Amino acid sequence: MDRNLGMDFVRATEAAALSSGRWVGKGDRHAVDQAACEAMRRTLGDIDMKGVVVIGEGERDEAPMLYIGERVGKCSPGAPKIDIALDPLEGTTITAKGGPNALAVLAIAEQGGLLNAPDTYMDKIAIGPGHAPGTVSLAASVADNVTALARSKGCAPAAITACVLDRPRHAELIAQLRALGCGVMLIPDGDVAGVIATTNPDTGIDIYLGQGGAPEGVLAAAALRCVGGQFEGRLVFRNEDEKARAARVGITDLERIYSLTDLAKGDVIFAATGVTDGSLLGGVKRRPGGRIETHSVVMRASSGTVRWIHGDRLGEPPLIAA
Ligand code: FBP
């Protein structure tokens, strides 16, 4: 990518956040998701690129827009070919309930740079930067990973705090962590923010563990490619239909453990805008007098640049029906 497209793409996450931000706490999952999708799609259409959605709202027959394989952008001659992984609203339920850590998020790479992950679960493990390569791995036990991380941090295993999605499937994992004396921060949703939280000492989160969406795994890996840290993912298949989804995107090794660069390689750009307040970004704030504040971040792997953008606009963007 010769041109830094980051600022173009952060406009797309900002548009999605502004639109879905109108629906925070209103209990309507469908409306909030639709508002985010429509706004992101419209903004992507204004970017001069030949874009292909490789991770999106679902397969073509199940998603009306931003489906896997959809072509987006102005597509003028000579425009760069870009693969896009997106989630216009990461945390639909959170937003509908007015909870924390909902994000509009996307990652881009040159053609072939992002794993075309099927819509299945993924086992994930992530830690922040500053540790020897391979400090943690999905191939190791929970106890070995926590012990290795504690050794690298120069603390006791009991001083480690893990972030885990609050789901019944994680009961055994949580019990193992608590048996080691670890703190367990349970999040209701939003594991992209949970993974990225490991890179920010202010969050107090040392390690992310557990099963979440595979598409969200690719998005989180793209962010870690830019800011540093370690991540591994392994797809989880619950039935034959999910295996068929993997086959359709060319995945044959169903046991494979994916490294950070297997998931997001080359010159990756990651952009996100907060919808509700969270550990990564503040949410959309509509102020008296018609001012609207947004908080975004855009990062690029090749330069290591991280730009924090505090947006302040007067007046609403055009209303998109939801
Ligand atoms: P949505 O944006 O689709 O609501 O996803 C939120 C999320 O919590 C992700 O962050 C996470 O990866 C996934 O759902 C976990 O799935 P499940 O809710 O089925 O456990």
Q: How far is the CA of 288 from the centre of ligand 1 (A)?
A: 33
Position 25 pLDDT exceeds 60: yes
pLDDT tens-digit map of 190-200: 999 999 999 99
Position 65 pLDDT exceeds 80: yes
Same domain, residue pair 108 and 138: no
Q: Whole domain around residue 294: which residue ranges?
A: 5-114+268-314
In DSSP terms, 123 is beta-bridged to: 211, 234
Same domain, residue pair 195 and 132: yes
Same domain, residue pair 229 and 280: no
Q: How far is the CA of 155 from the centre of ligand 1 (A)?
A: 32
Euclidean distance between CA atoms 9 and 15, whole angstroms: 10
- Which 3 state secondary structure label does DSSP give 227? helix
Please give the number of the atom of ligand 1 that sits closest to the Cα of 94: 4
Please give the number of the atom of ligand 1 that sits closest to the Cα of 187: 8
- Where residue 322 falls among pLDDT bands split at 50, 70, 90? very low
Position 320 pLDDT exceeds 80: no
* C-alpha to C-alpha distances, 257 to 85, 103, 198, nearest whole angstrom: 20, 27, 20
Name the residue of 34, 164, 189, 218 to mutate for ligand 1: max ligand atoms within 8 A of Cβ: 189
* C-alpha to C-alpha distances, 34 to 57, 64, 221, nearest whole angstrom: 10, 10, 25
The string of DSSP codes covering 161-200 is EEEEE--GGGHHHHHHHHHTT-EEEEESS-HHHHHHHTT-
Same domain, residue pair 144 and 206: yes
Position 321 pLDDT exceeds 60: no
Same domain, residue pair 281 and 218: no
Nearest alpha carbon to residue 69 among 50, 88, 54:
54
Same domain, residue pair 221 and 148: yes
- Range 148-170 average pLDDT: 98
pLDDT tens-digit map of 228-264: 999 999 999 999 999 998 998 899 999 999 999 999 9
Position 3 pLDDT exceeds 70: no
Please give the number of the atom of ligand 1 that sits closest to the Cα of 90: 2
Residue 38 resides in a domain: yes
Same domain, residue pair 79 and 127: no
Whole-prediction pTM value?
0.95
Residue 146 resides in a domain: yes
189, 213 Cβ separation under 8 angstroms: no
User: Strands 81-90, 121-127: parallel, antiparallel or unpaired by DSSP?
Assistant: unpaired
Same domain, residue pair 309 and 247: no
Residue 321 resides in a domain: no
- The tokens describing 257, both together, are 């453990």
Please give the number of the atom of ligand 1 that sits closest to the Cα of 190: 10
pLDDT tens-digit map of 208-221: 999 999 999 999 99
- Where residue 319 falls among pLDDT bands split at 50, 70, 90? low
Same domain, residue pair 221 and 298: no
- Where residue 1 falls among pLDDT bands split at 50, 70, 90? low
Q: How far is the CA of 165 from the centre of ligand 1 (A)?
A: 9
CATH number of the domain within which 176 lies: 3.40.190.90
The string of DSSP codes covering 110-176 is ETT-B----SSEEEEEEE-SSS-TTSS-TTS-HHHHHHHHHHHHTS-GGG-EEEEE--GGGHHHHHH
**First-to-last CA distance in the chain?**
34
What lies within 8 Å, CB to CB, of 239 at 6+ separation is: none
- The tokens describing 155, both together, are 């603390």
Give, using CA atoms, the residue closest to atom 15 of ligand 1: 212
pLDDT tens-digit map of 99-142: 999 999 999 999 999 999 999 999 999 999 999 999 999 999 99
State the average pLDDT for the chain: 94
- Where residue 92 falls among pLDDT bands split at 50, 70, 90? very high
Same domain, residue pair 89 and 205: no
Q: Which residues line ligand 1 (CB under 6 A)?
A: 89-93, 165, 167, 189-192, 212-213, 216
Please give the number of the atom of ligand 1 that sits closest to the Cα of 191: 10
pLDDT at 267 (0 to 100):
94
Please give the number of the atom of ligand 1 that sits closest to the Cα of 89: 2
Residue 225 resides in a domain: yes
**How many structural domains compose the chain?**
2
Name the residue of 28, 87, 90, 186 to mutate for ligand 1: max ligand atoms within 8 A of Cβ: 90
Q: How far is the CA of 59 from the centre of ligand 1 (A)?
A: 17
Give, as one character, the DSSP assignment of residue 301.
T
- Determine which helix (DSSP H) or strand (DSSP E) holds 54, and give its type and residue range: strand 50-55
- What are the φ and ψ backbone dihedral angles of 146, each rounded to 5 degrees? -65, -40
